Amino acid sequence: MTTPHYIDGRWVEGQGSDCIVVHNPSDGQPFAELMAASSAQVDQAVAAARRALTSWKTVSATERANYLRGFAEQLGQRRDDLIALQMRNNGKPRHEAEIDLDDAIATFAYYADLAEQLPAKNRDVPLAAPGFTARTRLEPVGVVGLIVPWNFPLVTSAWKLAPALAAGCTVVLKPSEITPLIEQAYGQIAEVLGLPAGVLNIVGGKAETGAALSGHNGLDKLSFTGSNGVGSQVMRAAAAQCRPVTLELGGKSAIVVFDDCDVDQAVEWIVAGITWNAGQMCSATSRLLVQDGIADALLPRLQAALAALRVGNPLSEEVDMGPLTSQAQWLKVAGYFATAREEGLECLAGGTALDRDGWFVSPTLYVDVPVSSRLWGEEIFGPVLCARRFGSEAEAIAQANDSRFGLVATVCSADLERAERVADALEVGHVWINSVQAVFVETSWGGTKGSGIGRELGPWGLSGYQSVKHVTRCLG
């Protein structure tokens, strides 16, 4: 058993009713156990954050920036251990785990710089009416609850934690019960840095713990990343308190390939968009729209590229794609393979759950998938790509936008003017042109439609944890 919860500057054992068993998805074997935090411990964490807020929000921007840089430096010092844990608990190949860590480090460093650049709290506001003066203040929202998913632990928590601390908020962080260990590094770092007790609290658990946090009346804001089903529950809980929320939810994103593309380059972008993290990404470009003029050349090469990917245990071999992170996700993806067979979809690659230890599936390509198919419309969260052809630019835009989601998209074309035009027409929060999914902390992250509310990263991520106050004074 491990001591998993960090409350008011102390590590404590869980007192909840759930025992969480942590597995290695590469062999399906458990390697850690912990008891979930109880509702009473969530109360304690929120109370600690409330007490700490009074002093933390008055700490200078420079001092907060120093703490954030300390987080970045300490993550770097723990590099080998954190990469190994990402590989062991998530099944990520080493190169992916390394990028995750670098992303988290860059996020804390960026918000340290942004904290130092915050404008003075008081800014004069020119008024047209004589006899009055006005000023505006940016203040921290207050105590925030952060609920993060299992597909990018360490990273998603950094995206939330760094701007919240930069803004002067105090935090209660709930990791996923599937990957509850790596976020403990943040509590360990807080101890090393001497972060005031209560500024950061970490409570792990399953649905009971998440419900206790999302419904807690001591929070001033909730930020959640995860599935649409759970996101709607979080939103309902926030609505009961009239509390603001940021929601980063699902996606069923399109990659649009025009017939002027270099075929091999297009295949590289397509494969990366569906197999990174074994397709367990809300941003996975799982709907391939390929123009008629290039389809016959591209699809066989894509079939060969997917079949050639090395799938295996990243802890014992060099691989391109690891396992799915949980048995539940493996069963879900296997269920979609069964649905594809029932629907009579044409499978060019994969379509099977692999018969080996661990939770592995094959990278999969279905072609000529009708829009009525469940696989075309639903988020699968696995390396499952569905392809359709299109003729004109207008048809491509219409098919790409025909989704209840609107997170990201990719456009592939040698005609950059056309690529920019299509990017502007797509109803999503982020578009890549002729690129893999490179995510930079300076840019925003979030979507439209059913993909969520609000934005993370960049200055937009910071503003999500700030409240605007105006003070108007009569001169008479």
pLDDT tens readout for residues 425-457: 999 999 999 999 999 999 999 999 999 999 999
Stated as kind and residue range, the H or E segment containing 21 is strand 19-24
**Coil/strand/helix, residue 254:** strand
pLDDT tens readout for residues 236-264: 999 998 999 999 999 999 999 999 999 99
Across 49-72, average pLDDT = 96
CA dihedral (231, 232, 238, 242) positive or negative: positive
Burial class (CB in 10 A: 0-12, 13-18, 19+), 372: exposed
More confident residue, 119 or 187: 187
Across 186-197, average pLDDT = 98
- Cβ contacts of 375 within 8 Å, gap of 6 or more: 336, 339, 340, 343, 345, 366, 369, 384, 386
| Annotated active-site residue in 96, 177, 183, 248 | 248
- The whole-chain average pLDDT of the chain stands at 96
**Do residues 354 and 330 touch, judged by C-beta distance below 8 A?**
no
Does the pLDDT at position 119 exceed 90? no
The amino acid at 221: K
pLDDT tens readout for residues 75-111: 999 999 999 999 999 999 999 999 999 999 999 999 9
pLDDT tens readout for residues 376-390: 999 999 999 999 999
pLDDT tens readout for residues 397-414: 999 999 999 999 999 999
**Residue 1: predicted pLDDT:** 46
Does the pLDDT at position 12 exceed 50? yes
What phi and psi values does residue 288 have, to the nearest 5 degrees?
Answer: -95, 120
Across 149-157, average pLDDT = 97
Q: Is 248 tagged catalytic? A: yes
Does the pLDDT at position 417 exceed 50? yes
**Do residues 408 and 432 touch, judged by C-beta distance below 8 A?**
yes
Exposure string (b/e) for 327-342, b if CB count within 10 Å is 16 or more?
A: eebbeebbebbeebee
pLDDT tens readout for residues 302-333: 999 999 999 999 999 999 999 999 999 999 99
Does the pLDDT at position 120 exceed 80? no
- The CA distance from 45 to 172, in Å, is 6
pLDDT tens readout for residues 337-368: 999 999 999 999 999 999 899 999 999 999 99
